[in-house]
Amino acid sequence: MKKSVKEMGPIQRRTNSLAAKTLITVVLMMAFIGVTMFTAGYSVYLFSVMHEYRANIWNLAKAESLMVNRQDAMDKSEEILKIYDSVSDKERGDGSGQEYNSLFDSVIDDKFRSLQEDMRLMQNEVGLRNAFLVAIDDNANRMIYLVDADPDIETFCIPGTWEEYEPGEIDILLHGNRIGPVQKFFDIGDSYQVAYTNQEKYGPRITGGFTLGKYDDYTIMICLDEKLDHLMYISRVFLVRYNILLIAIVVIAAFIAHYLMKKNLVRPINLMANAAIDFTEDKRNGVAAPNRFSSLHFKTGDEIETLGLSMAEMESILNEYEENLTRFTAERERINTELDLATRIQRDALPSIFPPFPERKEFEIYASMDPAKQVGGDFYDFIMIDDDHLAFLIADVAGKGIPAALFMMVSKVILDNLIIAGMTPAEALERANDRICANDRSEMFVTVWLAVLDLKTGQVVCANAGHEMPVKIDADGKAELIRSKHGFVIGGMEGMKYKNCEIQLEPGDKIFVYTDGLPEATSSSNEMFGTDRMLEILTESRDDDPKLVLDNINNAVNRFVGDAEQFDDLTMLCLKYKGPSR
């Protein structure tokens, strides 16, 4: 595992410093440039030299074809090829057998020697390795020697001697070729009949040929050979000199590049790094030191200078921020204190002692609120209107935080007063809507579900102002949504009308009401809890008391949501009707 700067020793820090990395980068870059320049230069040089060799030897072969007596050459070729064709491949052997060679003794006459002298004249004048007249058998990829002007007895080829060549070499001698797009660029319009060979008998050589004519399926060509030993020698000399010059240039360029990079890049960055270390130490030790970055003086005129100016500005901003930090911290502590107080006030405003009416045996009720922030906008309440009627409600203010909490308190007080006054749920919602709309400038609203339970009969009269549909849980365990007509939200528009709805509860039945934070609880995979899961858990909790019902729902939501953040308040209320007291 790679160490951080703090874990490194002095030597490691030096070897991993920006200066060392810059030096390594420059060396590698210059090495790459050097290798590239060497490869490109040597390739262009070798290509250019070989191109000139090809052109020269082909032109010489062409000139040789003009010096020899073409008719004598074709006649002598025909004479030799007739003898060559008169024997089988088995009798020819490898072309060097004494019995086979003796068949051509008769062709060596004055005409043969005249042709040989003409070719030797060109060979000696221009200093070529050899000149010879050959027949090319394109089908068998063979070259049959007809007249050889080679003075070297060891490499001299008597008439009828043949050699096999690669198909590509034969094709080049017959038709010429181009070697890719580079040659097309440098050698427009020319295609020389020149081939490169490297046979053990002759060594590396370049052969140029010029066609004199055809006999049957044979192509008669005058050819010239040039050894490549001299080319290889001058190439090695060039390579040594070019390398020495290139290395010197690369070393000098690397030194200059490293000096400039160190001066214009590494040094300013090191100055800023040291200033940052000093600045950190000053802040850690509580030292009121002068501005570290503002004291730096380097003018590179590029992004380094821009970075230095930005760091100096950042230092000034941080110092200013530090001066105001105590005031901001005190302000934040005051706000947190007020938030804690608001949380306690909101919590105290909601019924929190259960059972709330221990002397009443007709029902059991339990409620809970879990705000998404410190204070929330959901609320619930239950009030004994008289000895036989219980009012209970649940509401959800649009929004969160302190504004929603304040709006929630106002709405709760208004609704409580109207319920105590003996109004039906629909009338209470209508009157509350008008009052809130008349005085509200915040454009906030609240959804409310309000109900009054007759404890003698089990009849529930309720009204809905844009809230979630309640759930009725029968004593036999069936849980279903109570679908009724919804009215408009409270505080949304003045003069709205609401309609009462009746629900009949039998002993053992329960009513479960909630805010949208329950079905809209979202998991980390962005899936909502939904009403189907809620109804399934309520069905499984049919025999539980209201508190256990809410606990089961809470546990299920927590398992479903997991580590996902809670985005909305979650408030629930459950009432179980036990029947009239006796």
Render 517-538 in DSSP notation, one character per residue: TTTT-B-TTS-B-HHHHHHHHH
Helix, strand, coil percentages (3-state) for the chain, rounded to 5, are 50, 20, 30
Q: Tokens 């027949």 identify what position?
A: 135
Contacts of residue 452, defined as CB under 8 A and 6 or more positions apart, other chains included, come to 385, 389, 390, 391, 419, 424, 425, 460, 461, 462
pLDDT tens for the chain, 582 residues long, are 566 666 667 777 667 666 676 777 777 787 788 788 778 777 777 777 777 777 777 788 788 778 888 898 899 899 999 999 898 888 888 777 888 888 888 888 988 988 888 888 877 777 777 888 989 988 888 889 999 887 776 678 889 888 887 777 777 777 776 554 444 444 444 567 777 666 666 667 778 888 888 999 899 988 888 777 766 777 778 778 878 888 888 888 877 877 777 777 777 777 777 777 777 777 777 776 667 766 776 666 666 667 767 777 777 777 766 777 667 666 777 766 666 666 676 677 788 899 999 999 999 999 998 887 656 678 999 999 999 999 999 999 887 777 777 888 888 899 999 999 989 999 999 999 999 888 766 678 999 999 999 999 999 999 999 999 999 999 888 899 998 888 999 998 999 999 999 999 999 999 999 999 999 999 988 899 999 999 999 999 888 999 999 999 999 999 999 888 877 788 999 999 999 976
**Distance from C-alpha of 453 to C-alpha of 458, rounded to nearest angstrom:** 6
Q: What does 155-202 look like in DSSP terms, one character per residue?
A: T---TT-EEE--HHHHHHHHH----HHHHHHHSTT----EEEEEETTT
What pLDDT shows up at residue 189?
Answer: 41
CB-CB neighbours of 152 under 10 Å: 9
**Distance from C-alpha of 395 to C-alpha of 382, rounded to nearest angstrom:** 12
What pLDDT shows up at residue 576?
Answer: 96
CA-closest candidate to residue 376, choices 392, 362, 396 = 396
CA-closest candidate to residue 570, choices 468, 473, 478 = 468
Angle between helices 110-126 and 18-67 (to 10 degrees): 150
CA angle 121, 124, 127 (to 5 degrees): 145
Which two tokens mark 544? 């539980």
What pLDDT shows up at residue 438?
Answer: 86
DSSP 3-state of 311: helix
Q: Tokens 């109804």 identify what position?
A: 535
Q: 301 to each of 115, 297, 312, 563, how far by Cα in Å?
A: 80, 12, 16, 50
> Are residues 359 and 567 in contact, defined by beta-carbon separation less than 8 angstroms?
no
* Burial category of 554 from C-beta neighbours within 10 Å (exposed 0-12, middle 13-18, buried 19 and up): middle
**Distance from C-alpha of 516 to C-alpha of 531, rounded to nearest angstrom:** 10
> Are residues 448 and 415 in contact, defined by beta-carbon separation less than 8 angstroms?
yes
* Residue type present at position 211: T
**Distance from C-alpha of 364 to C-alpha of 361, rounded to nearest angstrom:** 8
Q: 406 to each of 399, 403, 430, 444, how far by Cα in Å?
A: 11, 5, 21, 11
> Are residues 242 and 214 in contact, defined by beta-carbon separation less than 8 angstroms?
no
Q: Tokens 């004479």 identify what position?
A: 79
Report which DSSP code applies to 488: P
What pLDDT shows up at residue 343?
Answer: 63
* Burial category of 177 from C-beta neighbours within 10 Å (exposed 0-12, middle 13-18, buried 19 and up): middle
DSSP 3-state of 460: strand
Contacts of residue 342, defined as CB under 8 A and 6 or more positions apart, other chains included, come to 374, 375, 402, 405
CATH T-level fold of 354-577: Phosphatase 2c; domain 1 (3.60.40)
All structural domains of the chain with their residue ranges: 57-227, 354-577
